[in-house]
Amino acid sequence: MPASTQKHRFCAIGIHKGKLEALMDKFLVLPSAQRNLSKMEILFQNKSIEDALQSAGFSPTEPHVVIVVESETLEHMTELLRDEEVQKLVENAKEFGFQKSASVWAADLQPITGSVLGCRRRYIGIYTTPLHLSAAQFRTEFQSDWVEKWTALPAVESNKVNLELWQQNTAVDEHMHNLGLSRAEPAFVVHGGSQEWDEDP
């Protein structure tokens, strides 16, 4: 079983610095997308916690759109990415720089404090590997340091925030390369969810 495959769930993540609504509308009506995808979410950035993040020392965020697609198996995702209509749609997206500004990769989902399914508010943190660390070193330090510190925060517990860690893997890298996308930088995505957030994290 591929590393990114859970029972009846294969996930891929797309991160783009721009607007994708029109492209996704065209993508979703393609027969291959309707046949092979079991779920797709588009997460639009807002500024609801920006002040709190800057107070905690984070740099101002750039506008991003995060797309999460799921299929039952890797084979379903592979069939989708090999589809001629999908390839043509991605090729036509060059006109607004999709290939150069998008990062797409398969992900292993690791629940940290629970599932975000059904949560009304979502929080996304994108962390790329620092230049002075290898991907393996960053993975070890990130999991032992960041995860432990954040899960221990009183605000995370009191607001019943569920956290998932999305770990990048290479299951669809070759397909992304064939579509003209650059190979994704090593990264982690922390996906948080809650029904409400009453105080700053």
Look at residue 74 and tell me whether its pLDDT is greater than 90.
yes
pLDDT of 13 reads 86
CA 171 – CA 169 distance, rounded (Å):
6
What mean pLDDT comes out for the span 158-184? 87
Residue 131 confidence (pLDDT) above 90: no
Q: What is the CA radius of gyration of the chain?
A: 17
Whole-prediction pTM: 0.80
CATH 3.30.70.100 is right for the domain spanning 5-194: yes
Q: What is the 3-state secondary structure (H, E, C) of the chain?
A: CCCCEECCEEEEEEEECCCCHHHHHHHHCCHHHHHHCCEEEEEECCCCCHHHHHHCCCCCCCCCEEEEEEECCHHHHHHHHHCHHHHHHHHHHHHHCHHHHEEEEEEEEEECCCCCCCCCEEEEEEEECCCCCCHHHHHHHHHHHHHHHHHCCHHHHHCCCEEEEEEEECCCHHHHHHCCCCCCCCEEEEEEEECCCCCCC
Domain chopping of the chain, boundaries: 5-194
Q: What is the pLDDT of residues 12-38, one digit of tens each?
A: 888 888 778 889 999 999 999 999 999
